[in-house]
Structure formats: structure tokens, C-alpha cells
Amino acid sequence: MLTRRETLLVLAACMACAAWPDITTAAAGKSSALTTPWESWKRSFVQDGRVIDPGQQGISTSEGQGYGMLLATAMRDRAGFDAMWTWTRNNLDVRGDGLYAWRWTPGQGVTDRNNASDSDLLIAWALVRAAQRFAQPDLLDAARHTTQAIRSQLLLDTPWGTVLKPAVEGFATPQGQVVNLSYWVFPALPTLAAIDPSPHWQALTDSGLKLLSIARYGRWQLPPDWLLLVDPLVPDPGRPQRFGFEAVRIPLYLYWAKLGSPTRYASFKSFWNSFPCRDFLPAWTNLQDDSIDSFGADPGMRAISTLVQTGKAPQQASPPLAQQTYYSATLWMLVQIAASEGST
């Protein structure tokens, strides 16, 4: 339990490191402009605090809860945040170690007790932001508990630095550790360092940037969705060797954390700019043979491309969020927030 003095120091540290910017006229205007899509997102994907993925038999995941809580803090929606946090705490906090069960299925409850490390980062980050935004310092205890659990159970020292395991179980193979570079939620890490002072958090940022500079494959020199930590590094042979639905979040997080640069963005831009037809952008490319999908990227992925290439978020969701998948609509909303918070 944090003392009152510790709570004030933590909140001051968060503000000092710009982990959560103060409310400004511009930020308030951005939030107001997003009120309609935010309400549409909630109507489409949230029920009694449970974030639902209709395309996956209505399951809920710790990822969805983390994203929802994060969006609610950005939208200054305390009631929405409280409902999502209450559902998360009551239904996914079943492991007893500060981490959250990954999947919950209607009629069955938790159907996968393993955690997802990016989800845990998102939840801890959202809790700290809510503590400041809604003046609820008690949330810092839960955030700190999860942050310390991530550090103690999910960080691994390797020749490439301190890396993030995707989960407590399931990603250590006889060949080596498998990681997912899109699980490095770069903008969250300074916030977590503020409530859990440790050199591990900067080391994690450093390792993510280092791996991104090395793990480049195929015609466009893109990072894979899943990476096997062997020497030399290779896309995980046990999964589709693609840049796609997972790794597309990498440039979003780089932008949000103000870690983007022409060099770090170059491969993503090269890929996206290879398809000048405004009506088509591939969702993925195979990093072995450079083949691409034929169905095209969803609006959320397109929004990331727009953000990275122009520094601006799309003004309107097309099609409307209610007609998109949970993942696409969520990415679109995240891009809106990142455009405001990650701009320089």
C-alpha cells in the first residue's frame, strides 16, 4: 500500500516525465471531437464493462480490457473506465500473481489463464493514467502490483538485452525464446518506471529499439509478427512469417512514445508506399517470398499508415466504427489518441 507521501511523489514523477500530459485546450478539443466515435465504440464493443470481440464468438481478452481502459482515460470517461476496470478485476484477476488471464468466454468464464504481457502493460499504464486523470490515487496500488509482476516474471536477460516474454508460459522453445516486438508498448514504459523505479524499464526500451534495428526481413526489410531469439535472429518458424496484424502496432507505439525517426519509419513507409492505389493496402506480407494478402488492410491499419506518414490521424472512420471489427475500430481510436499525445 502506498503512503500518501509516496502517492504524491509518484503522481509528480508521472507528470514530470510527461507520461500523461496535462489537460490542454488542444487535448480537450481532441477529446470533444472524438465523443461521437467513442460512444459508437462503446455501444459496439462494450457491455457492462466487458470489452467484446464479436468476430471471435464474443470473447473478451485482457488486451481488449487494457485498450478500453486506456481509451476511457483519454476520453475523460470515468464511468466507462470504472466499469471496465471493475469487470477486469472481477473476472480476469484470477492468477494471484498480479497478471491477468488472457481470455474469457461467455458461458464459460476464463478459458485461458495464461497472461499476455502487452495486455498487462496496457492495464498497468491505464491504471496510472486514471489515478491522475480521475484523482483516484488508490489505483496506483493495483498498477504498481502489476508493474512489479511484469518486471519479476516477464523480463528476461538475453544477449540482445532485457526482453519481454509474451507470457509467463508457452514461448520458450528448444531453439530459443520467442518474442513479439509489438508487445513493447513503448509509451507505457516511462509511466511504469515512475511507479516502479528500476533500470529494467529503460533497458526494455533499449532492447526493443535494438531488436527493431536488426530484425528486418524481406523486400521491405520489415520486422516480423513473431521473432525467434537465435543468432542470427529469424522470424519464428513455428508461426506465419509475416509482417501483419501484430507488428503493424510497432510504428504506432513508436509514434506515441515520440521514438519515431526517418530511419525507424523507413521500412514501414516503403511498404505502404509500394501500393499507391488509395483503395488497396495489404494487411500483411510474407517475409520469405514477399507475397501479400489479397483482401487488404482494415481501416485501423490504414489509420496507422496515415499517422506515420503524415503525422495526422484520419478525420473520419470509414466505414463507421460500428461496421468495423473490434480490432480495426480499436486501432482507429488508438491512432486518434496517439496523434494528440505523440505529436511534438
Per-residue pLDDT of 118-133, as tens digits, reads 999 999 999 999 999 9
- Quote the mean pLDDT of the chain: 92
Domain CATH code at residue 157: 1.50.10.10
319 cis-preceded (ω within 30 degrees of 0): yes
In the block, residue with C-alpha cell 470509414: 318
Q: Which residues of the chain are modeled with pLDDT < 50?
A: 2, 5-9, 12-26
Q: How many domains does the chain have?
A: 1
Catalytic pick among 53, 93, 118, 236: 118
- Predicted pLDDT at 23: 33
- Predicted pLDDT at 117: 98
- Predicted pLDDT at 180: 98
Per-residue pLDDT of 302-337, as tens digits, reads 999 999 999 999 999 999 999 999 999 999 999 999
Catalytic pick among 53, 63, 225, 298: 63
- Predicted pLDDT at 31: 60
- Domain boundaries, position 311: 4-341
Asked if 22 is an active-site residue, the reply is no
Asked if 206 is an active-site residue, the reply is no
- Predicted pLDDT at 165: 98
